[in-house]
């Protein structure tokens, strides 16, 4: 008899499922409450059918799903509060039966696989919709799909119907990423290329982790003129490219590498760390009192910064902690995993498409032979050095587009330029897969061919549920021959995997040498 069941991320126990304790640190109690939360959201979706869900209902749907994403919320009491709010909202809509948590992960293996893929994709998309939501942007088609998708979890569907639903979901997630792109660029401007230092200057500082640019913006405003430097961490790195964020001179640089190194990199850190979204790992005692959470993030005993009126947050406890700890007494040199002290970001669609003539000419003259999109999430498994080696071994006439935190495997490398453009171009966070898709479509139009006919190969790393929704979008767009690693998701049954291989040519990564040879010949 197992204590819990969770197989939603790449580090799941034994490559199968966490059944006694989450490898991420999630306890059985939290895991089981997250299942109850999911089942209550199915009930909420059922109650919303034929009634009139409000903005509050939508917000609970997004918050509930986002809360269950890997490394977001470990706090059982917060999850219980959320379930209570969902039950209250459900009653207001006339009530409905929740899904039974007994059936959530049980049944025919292929149907469980397909149903789980949809649920996990919805969890990922909820994160993107949430970031757009807090910036006042909503797309009714996207919002309605959460209800449709959650209801589907409690319905009987054939394998073909599930596959159709997954493709429809992939298309709606593209809309959601477009919505977030619009929300970010209309609020903060289009990212521009920028060099980001990894050196932490002496004096008080705050590290901001996660993906939420609005939390960063509010903190930048509240620390203005206080002598506190702000450093991004992990997926927050691309914030440096946005004009409305980079204009704050005390947004100084980036702290450390990807999320999975935090327990080592935050050891006795003389400054606070604010987690705005995933990826939070159980904090060690040598820095526990410096960790703060906000929004959907939670950990028992960690100080939480709540929402105030009109979405305003008061970051005073974080600011006071920065002043109290005082920072390093001398400049503190940190490096990327390859020893570099400078990272480049800001190559989102506007910048890359602005250089379209240069790029197209370089392809026509043979200066660029091939593009690789080496992107996705990073993780702790040793096999992930594949991505570093892949980039190091990529020939000099190839370009590496990248996004999400998988880039920390190689974003401190200087591998040269082609025609004035760096060979590694960081397009942003995981949701900026939208930017990459727009660039690929523009290139296909310029060369009058399909995206699959471009000299472009996607080499993806996955870890959590946002990667699931992006993968489904890429498949819905008809992209083929995607390389995926470091392992195949545990929630793909062997039959489902066979379908994906047969229909879309999905390929597990092997070695950089063999994969580069297979791609480039
Ligand atoms: Fe295990 Fe990943 Fe689930 Fe955590 S999120 S319990 S590591 S499968």
- DSSP for 324-345 reads HH--BSS-EE---TTS-SEEEE
The CA distance from 123 to 118, in Å, is 9
Please give the number of the atom of ligand 1 that sits closest to the Cα of 4. Answer: 6
Tens of pLDDT along the chain (521 residues) come to 579 999 999 999 999 999 999 999 999 999 999 999 999 999 999 999 999 999 999 999 999 999 999 999 999 999 999 999 999 999 999 999 999 999 999 999 999 999 999 999 999 999 999 999 999 999 999 999 999 999 999 999 999 999 999 999 999 999 999 999 999 999 999 999 999 999 999 999 999 999 999 999 999 999 999 999 999 999 999 999 999 999 999 999 999 999 999 999 999 999 999 999 999 999 999 999 999 999 999 999 999 999 988 889 999 999 999 999 999 999 999 999 999 999 999 999 999 999 999 999 999 999 999 999 999 999 988 779 999 999 999 999 999 999 999 999 999 999 999 989 999 999 999 999 999 999 999 999 999 999 999 999 999 999 999 999 999 999 999 999 999 999 999 999 999 999 999 999 999 999 999 999 999 99
27 CA to middle of ligand 1, Å?
Answer: 10
The CA distance from 53 to 50, in Å, is 9
317 CA to middle of ligand 1, Å?
Answer: 31
Question: In testing the pocket of ligand 1, which one of 4, 8, 17, 463 has its CB within 8 Å of the most ligand atoms?
Answer: 8
Total count of residues recorded for the chain: 521
What per-residue confidence (pLDDT) applies to 311? Answer: 87
71 CA to middle of ligand 1, Å?
Answer: 8
> What are the Cα distances from residue 31, in Å, to 69, 271, 410?
11, 31, 34
Q: Which tokens in the block code for residue 164?
A: 């159709």
Please give the number of the atom of ligand 1 that sits closest to the Cα of 490. Answer: 8
Q: Which tokens in the block code for residue 268?
A: 């006795």
Ordered DSSP codes for 353-379: HHTHHHHHHHHHTTS--EEEEEEE---
Q: Whose CA is nearest to atom 3 of ligand 1?
A: 6
What per-residue confidence (pLDDT) applies to 89? Answer: 98
The CA distance from 463 to 460, in Å, is 10
**b/e burial code for range 231-241 (CB count within 10 A of at least 16 → b):** bbbbbbbbbbb
Predicted structure pTM score: 0.97
CA dihedral 193, 195, 196, 197 (to 10 degrees): 180
Among candidate residues 64, 69, 67, the one with its CA nearest the CA of residue 48:
64
The CA distance from 429 to 210, in Å, is 10
77 CA to middle of ligand 1, Å?
Answer: 19
Please give the number of the atom of ligand 1 that sits closest to the Cα of 9. Answer: 2
Question: In testing the pocket of ligand 1, which one of 16, 24, 29 has its CB within 8 Å of the most ligand atoms?
Answer: 24
The CA distance from 177 to 267, in Å, is 35
What per-residue confidence (pLDDT) applies to 380? Answer: 85
Q: Which tokens in the block code for residue 176?
A: 């959601």
Question: In testing the pocket of ligand 1, which one of 5, 13, 23 has its CB within 8 Å of the most ligand atoms?
Answer: 23
Q: Which tokens in the block code for residue 387?
A: 């991505």
- What is the biggest distance separating any 2 CA atoms in the chain, rounded to whole angstroms? 65
The CA distance from 23 to 269, in Å, is 24
11 CA to middle of ligand 1, Å?
Answer: 7
Q: Decide: helix, strand or coil at residue 121.
A: helix
284 CA to middle of ligand 1, Å?
Answer: 19
452 CA to middle of ligand 1, Å?
Answer: 34
386 Cβ neighbours under 8 A, 6+ residues apart: 485, 486, 509, 511, 512
The CA distance from 149 to 44, in Å, is 12
Q: What is the bridge-based pairing of β-strands 332-333 and 199-200?
A: antiparallel
3 state SS for 230-249: EEECHHHHHHHHCHHHHCCC
Q: What does the angle CA 416 – CA 418 – CA 419 come to, to the nearest 5 degrees?
A: 135
Question: In testing the pocket of ligand 1, which one of 5, 10, 12 has its CB within 8 Å of the most ligand atoms?
Answer: 12
The CA distance from 163 to 142, in Å, is 19
Ordered DSSP codes for 407-424: GGGTTT----EETTEESE
What per-residue confidence (pLDDT) applies to 509? Answer: 96
Ligand 1 pocket by Cβ (under 6 Å): 6-9, 11-12, 18, 22-24, 26, 31, 70
What per-residue confidence (pLDDT) applies to 310? Answer: 86
The CA distance from 178 to 172, in Å, is 10
Q: Whose CA is nearest to atom 6 of ligand 1?
A: 22
**E-strand spans in 104-179?**
none
124 CA to middle of ligand 1, Å?
Answer: 14
The CA distance from 253 to 353, in Å, is 26
110 CA to middle of ligand 1, Å?
Answer: 20
What per-residue confidence (pLDDT) applies to 1? Answer: 59
Query: Could you tell me the end-to-end alpha-carbon distance of the chain, in angstroms, rounded to an integer?
Result: 50
The CA distance from 420 to 414, in Å, is 13
Across the strands, what pairs with 357? none
The CA distance from 165 to 462, in Å, is 22
Chain-centroid distance, C-alpha 49: 30
């Amino acid at each position: 008899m197992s204590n819990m069941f969770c197989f939603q991320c790449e580090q799941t126990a034994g490559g199968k499922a966490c059944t006694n304790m989450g490898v991420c640190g999630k306890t059985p109690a939290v895991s089981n409450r997250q299942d109850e939360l999911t089942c209550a959201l199915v009930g909420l979706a059922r109650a919303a059918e034929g009634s009139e869900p409000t903005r509050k209902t939508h917000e609970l749907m997004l918050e509930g799903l986002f809360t269950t994403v890997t490394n977001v919320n470990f706090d059982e009491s917060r999850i219980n509060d959320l379930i209570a709010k969902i039950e209250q909202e459900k009653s207001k809509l006339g009530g409905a039966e929740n899904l039974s948590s007994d059936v959530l992960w049980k049944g025919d293996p292929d149907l469980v696989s397909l149903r789980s893929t949809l649920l996990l994709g919805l969890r990922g998309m909820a994160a993107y919709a949430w970031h757009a939501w807090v910036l006042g942007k909503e797309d009714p088609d996207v919002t309605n799909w959460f209800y449709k998708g959650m209801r589907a979890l409690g319905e009987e569907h054939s394998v073909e119907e599930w596959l159709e639903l997954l493709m429809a979901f992939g298309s709606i997630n593209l809309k959601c990423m477009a919505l977030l792109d619009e929300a970010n660029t209309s609020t903060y401007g289009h990212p521009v290329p920028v060099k980001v230092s990894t050196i932490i200057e002496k004096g008080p500082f705050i590290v901001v982790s996660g993906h939420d640019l609005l939390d960063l913006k509010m903190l930048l405003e509240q620390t203005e003129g206080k002598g506190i430097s702000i450093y991004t961490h992990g997926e927050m790195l691309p914030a440096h490219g946005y004009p409305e964020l980079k204009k704050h001179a005390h947004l100084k640089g980036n702290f450390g590498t990807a999320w999975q190194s935090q327990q080592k990199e935050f050891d006795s850190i003389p400054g606070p760390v604010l987690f705005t979204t995933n990826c939070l790992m159980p904090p060690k005692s040598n820095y526990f009192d410096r960790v703060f959470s906000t929004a959907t993030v939670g950990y028992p005993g960690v100080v939480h910064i709540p929402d105030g009126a009109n979405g305003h947050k008061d970051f005073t406890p974080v600011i006071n902690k920065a002043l109290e700890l005082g920072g390093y007494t001398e400049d503190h040199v940190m490096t990327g995993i390859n020893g570099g002290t400078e990272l480049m970001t800001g190559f989102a669609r506007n910048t890359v498409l602005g250089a379209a003539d240069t790029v197209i000419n370089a392809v026509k003259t043979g200066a660029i032979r091939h593009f690789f999109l080496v992107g996705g999430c990073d993780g702790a498994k040793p096999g992930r050095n594949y991505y570093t080696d892949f980039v190091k071994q990529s020939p000099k006439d190839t370009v590496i587009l990248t996004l999400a935190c998988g880039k920390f495997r190689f974003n401190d490398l200087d591998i040269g330029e082609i025609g004035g453009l760096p060979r590694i171009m960081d397009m942003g966070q995981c949701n900026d897969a939208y930017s990459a898709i727009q660039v690929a479509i523009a290139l296909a139009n310029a060369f009058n061919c399909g995206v699959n006919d471009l000299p472009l190969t996607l080499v993806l790393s996955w870890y959590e549920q946002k990667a699931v929704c992006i993968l489904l979008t890429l498949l819905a767009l008809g992209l083929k021959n995607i390389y995926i690693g470091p392992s195949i998701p545990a929630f793909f049954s062997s039959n489902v995997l066979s379908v994906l291989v047969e229909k879309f040519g999905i390929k597990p990564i092997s070695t950089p040498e063999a994969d580069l040879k297979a791609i480039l010949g």
